[in-house]
Structure 1
Amino acid sequence: MRRDTSNDKEDKPAGSPAVAGSQTLLRGLDMLDKVVDGPVKLAELSQRMELTRSTTHRLANALINRGFLTHLPRDGYQLGPKLIQLGFLAQSQADIVQIARPRIEELAAQTEDTVHLGRMENDQALYLDKIPGRRRVDISSRIGDRQPLTSTGLGKALLIDAQEAEWERLFDDDQAGGAPRADRATWFERMRGYAGAGHAFDLEENEDQIRCVAAPVRDVSGRIVAAISVSSAAQYMDDDRMTTLSADVRETANAISRDLGWTPDAKPARGRR
């Protein structure tokens, strides 16, 4: 039978409470991780925690009293309502521009090209931030600009998870609204490729002689909430360099996503009709 050593350090003489308190806190946090995938019964939770049932039960009850866990009589322990509240508060306090800024500054320095951050708003790509590159390339975009989703790399990255019916609606709306003319069949073929690759290109479709590589940024649920792009003159963005840049842009977008709480397995399945 496993020996319960949970109180060994907690019963130490005066001078060690900080150590004991830290150990209890870490155990509580570990317990939250153990039930993250769904309800867990006491015996299984005890095994996962490598503690006796009595210690596991006592620790779980403390978390229940604070709202971090709940107990379902037939199913076991699961995450509690306090975490929902904290999650909403954390999300409301997360400023994506502030979070992304160090990442996109690093990407701009690495590539020497202009980096944008944007999100979707009212069926347009809204530019939230811009880090100018070191090259003498005039990129006409400005923070606060709104551009067509279907002709910009940033916009296409924002649409990677959308159904084709949504692509069709937005493509038709943009074409009717004055976006640069595009061949429908070519656009859809490219978008299917972008959806599979996890990044998108602007091949001088929105601005003459300007190309870009873009990738989506996801939140904790896996939903696309923003996108980043690297833009430069076509002379610096031949096909080979765009292919090479794609990995760097995706890596930076994924790093920002992780800062927002995303994990790779949170990516939603992409629906198609």
Structure 2
Amino acid sequence: MASNADLPETRVRKGEAKAQAGSQTLLRGLDVIEAVVDGPIGLAELAARLDLTRSTTHRLATALVERRYLSFVPRLGYQFGPKLLELGFQAQQQTDIVQVARPHLEALAASTEDTVHLGMLDRDRALYLDKIPGRRRVEINSRVGDRHPLTATGLGKALLLDASEGEWERLFQLDRASGAPPADYGVWLKRMHGYVDAGRTFDLEENEDLIRCVAAPIRGAGGAIVGAMSVSSAAQYMADARMTALTAEVLETARAISSDMGWSPENTGRAAPRGRGRR
């Protein structure tokens, strides 16, 4: 006669309990890793922070040291190990901003019916990496691979939101000398400070006649600006009121891409996608 331990339902319950215990151990291990993010931490403080016993904390931390996710420094405590550096580098190498941004940009182009661009800084120019045409019959003079003036395009200005005023002025003068449309630096500078506060930028027909856009920066894991995206259309579809209304959607898209690129406000101390030009 079979014992209760041999019954199928008993074996299922045991398997579920084992899986649940394994998941709990995994989550606790991840909690240990996250608790070390601010630097070396001793066993007693680590246990208190995690609300675990010292013996449980020591067992988890020791296992992570053995697998090189953590390292132990005498008199200092536990800190990130070489395995995390290796994985972080591999994750960074595998992150392609075009692939990451594509679905977000497609959704934005569909909802706005306007053309959406993605770009990044390429020396002293804005390099266009992707372009998704909108449904409106608006011809915009841009192509993937084009390099445009930073200070005359909404996307380019978004890439500069964290730069200093000295860098702004240098690039402004460089763009004018390289053939960018004429502009008054005082007016441009005042607008840039407003853009920094808003966390987004506008192109008010500065780069191409009758074309306007709303743009925002994209941030990477470290909080730095790694790219920018914009919504562009003919001026007739981009009255001041609509550009203001588009701001929330553009910022939300940029935040979503930033998050997928590894950005986190808890880790960087920044509110993305937003920066402040250093004065």
TM-score normalised by the chain length of structure 2:
0.89
Q: Which residue of 2 aligns with 1:153?
A: 154
Q: Which residue of 1 aligns with 2:241?
A: 240
Read off the aligned partner of 2:278 and give its amino acid letter.
R
Q: Deviations over 1:63-99 (max 9, x none)?
A: 0111111222223222222111111110011011000
Q: Equivalent residue of 2:78, what SS?
A: strand
Which residue number corresponds to residue 60 of structure 1?
61
Amino acid at match of 2:146: D
- How far did residue 26 of structure 1 move? 1.8
CA 1:137–1:29 in 2, change beyond 3 Å: closer, same or farther? same
SS at match of 2:202: strand
Q: CA deviation at 1:46?
A: 1.1
How many residues align structurally?
262
Larger helix share, 1 or 2:
2
1:255 is aligned to 256
Distance 1:168 1:122 in 2: 16
Give the drift of 1:43. Answer: 1.4
2-structure distance, mates of 1:131, 1:33: 38
Alpha-carbon shift at residue 32 of structure 1 (Å): 1.0
User: Residues 124-176 of structure 1: CA distance to partner in whole angstroms, max 9, x if unpaired?
Assistant: 11110111111111111111111000000000000000001111111111000
Q: How far is 1:272 from its partner? A: 2.4
Gaps of 5+ in 2: 1-12
Residue 7 of structure 1: aligned partner: none
Q: Deviations 1:208-260 (Å, cap 9, x if unpaired)?
A: 00000000000000000000000001011111111111111111001100001
1:20 corresponds in structure 2 to 21
Matched, 1:121 2:122: yes
What residue is the counterpart of 2:52 in the other structure?
A: 51
Answer whether contact 2:197 2:276 (CA < 8 A) is retained. no
The separation in 1 between residues aligned to 2:277 and 2:165, in whole angstroms, is: 8
**Could you tell me which residue of structure 1 aligns to residue 181 of structure 2?**
180
What CA deviation, in whole Å up to 9, does each residue of 1:172-223 have, x standing for no partner?
1100000111111111111111111110000000000000000000000000
Residues 193-208 of structure 1: pairs in structure 2 closer than 5 A? 193-208=194-209
What is the identity, as a one-letter code, of the residue corresponding to 2:113?
A: E
Deviation at 1:50, TM superposition (A): 2.4
After TM superposition, give the deviation of residue 14 of structure 1 in Å.
6.9
Structure 2 counterpart of 1:6: none
* Other structure's SS at 1:67 match: coil
Local SS of the residue matching 1:23: helix
Question: Given that residues 161 and 277 in structure 2 are in contact (C-alpha distance below 8 angstroms), is that contact kept between their aligned partners in structure 1?
Answer: no
1:24-69, Cα deviation, whole Å (9 max, x unpaired): 2221112111222222221121122222111110110110111111
Q: Which residue does the alignment assign to 2:141?
A: 140
**Unmatched 5+ residue regions in structure 1?**
1-11
Structure 2 distance, partners of 1:59, 1:15, is 22
The SS at the match of 1:231 is: strand
2:37 is equivalent to residue 36 of structure 1: yes
Report percent identity of matched pairs: 66
Of 262, 275, 278, 1:272 maps to 278
